[in-house]
Amino acid sequence: MLIYPDIEVKDGRCVLLARGSFEDPKAFEIAPLEAAKKFAAAGAERLHVVDLDGVEQGGRHNADQIVEIIRAVDIPVQVGGGVRTLAGVDWWIENGAARVVLGTAAVKDPTLVREACARHPGKIVVSLDARDGYVMIEGWREQTSFTAGDMAQRLADSGVAAIIFTDIDATEGEREATFAETSALGSEISIPLISSGCVRTLDDVSVLKHIPGVQGCIIGWAFFERWISVKDALAVAREPVTEAEFI
């Protein structure tokens, strides 16, 4: 299983949103570029970088800092946040993003997903965030009528490289719900699944590794708050899964 350290950028700073709220983001002293270099030096094989101002407003707002990260680290960087047009996808690919993440745009405009996948095979990822069973868009502020399973099935033939799934209820409440919803989605779809927002301990990494369909997990809070280390998370993620563990 792949580990994606999560760097979220707002107003040029590293921040994380408590319960997805833009009202009171927690800012960290470390600069986005420095965080990226530290994750890479610790052995990270991928990075997940989000333009939070883009999530909130659409468009590119922290592109300079993110492109600086892409150029500075020698590992693939997956970029999301505010990408809602084909031109926006093209721009990020041209500026070095290994993958581009579509969230709100993927739900509102499935044609965009198909066109982006056709133009950039293997480089388009869709992010689905669910609350009370339904996909949320516009930075978790607007509920749709689709479940994550519904949306994933709609995307099945589009050529999406992976789906990032966040169970919002679990990030806000009971831990077990995260794995239940993730496990259910993983069993429904053939597209590789990347879990986001549920890792707090190394045990969480171990559980996710054993869920069918899950090929990666995005970790933010646990790394920035030093609950776990990149090195230890990678070690757990790389441990082989034996048949005995399923008996």
Q: Give the residue numbers annotated as catalytic, written as ranges.
A: 8, 129
CA 128, distance to chain mean position in Å, is 9
- What is the CA 7 to chain-centroid distance, rounded? 10
CA-to-CA separations, 133 to 3, 21, 145, 169, 182, in angstroms, rounded: 26, 19, 9, 9, 11
What is the rounded distance in angstroms from the CA atom of residue 58 to the CA atom of residue 20? Answer: 16
Q: What residues are paired with 166 via a beta bridge?
A: 129
Q: In 3-state terms, what secondary structure has residue 75?
A: coil
Q: Alpha-carbon distance 6 to 222, whole Å? A: 10
Query: For residue 151, what is the enclosing H or E element?
Result: helix 148-154
